């Protein structure tokens, strides 16, 4: 049985599932496209804003950027040995 069910595999759903699972929770994500090719996260054109002045926003931006670049190693599985985030550094 799952501890948490998340509806939507976009960036918020995917991140929530990832961090809850890292804490040992059993998580199920319900996403209309199980390949995630049409989910909002891989289709987004978003970026990282760098012009913050509050410490919390600066730290969150730095963490997010580092996390995205580590996706190939962090999210590697037997079924998907080469996950990508399509992040282009500037």
Report the chain's terminal Cα–Cα distance, integer Å. Answer: 43
pLDDT computed for residue 32 by the predictor:
87
* Dist. CA 63–CA 70, nearest whole Å: 11
Q: 């054109």: which residue's tokens?
A: 45
Domain ranges of the chain: 1-44, 48-90
Q: 């600066």: which residue's tokens?
A: 58
Total-model pTM = 0.66
- The radius of gyration of the chain's CA atoms, rounded to the nearest angstrom, is 14
Q: 């989910």: which residue's tokens?
A: 39
Residues of the chain with pLDDT under 70: 41-42, 44-50, 85-90
pLDDT computed for residue 90 by the predictor:
60
pLDDT computed for residue 12 by the predictor:
84
Spatial contact of 6 and 33, defined as CB atoms under 8 Å apart: no
């Amino acid at each position: 049985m799952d501890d948490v069910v998340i509806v939507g595999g976009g960036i918020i759903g995917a991140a929530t599932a990832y961090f809850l699972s890292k804490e040992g929770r059993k998580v199920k994500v319900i996403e209309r496209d199980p390949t995630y090719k049409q989910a909002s996260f891989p289709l987004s054109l978003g970026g990282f804003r760098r012009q913050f002045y509050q410490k919390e926003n600066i730290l969150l931006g730095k963490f997010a950027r580092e996390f995205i670049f580590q996706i190939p190693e962090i999210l590697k599985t037997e079924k998907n040995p080469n996950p990508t985030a399509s992040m282009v550094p500037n």
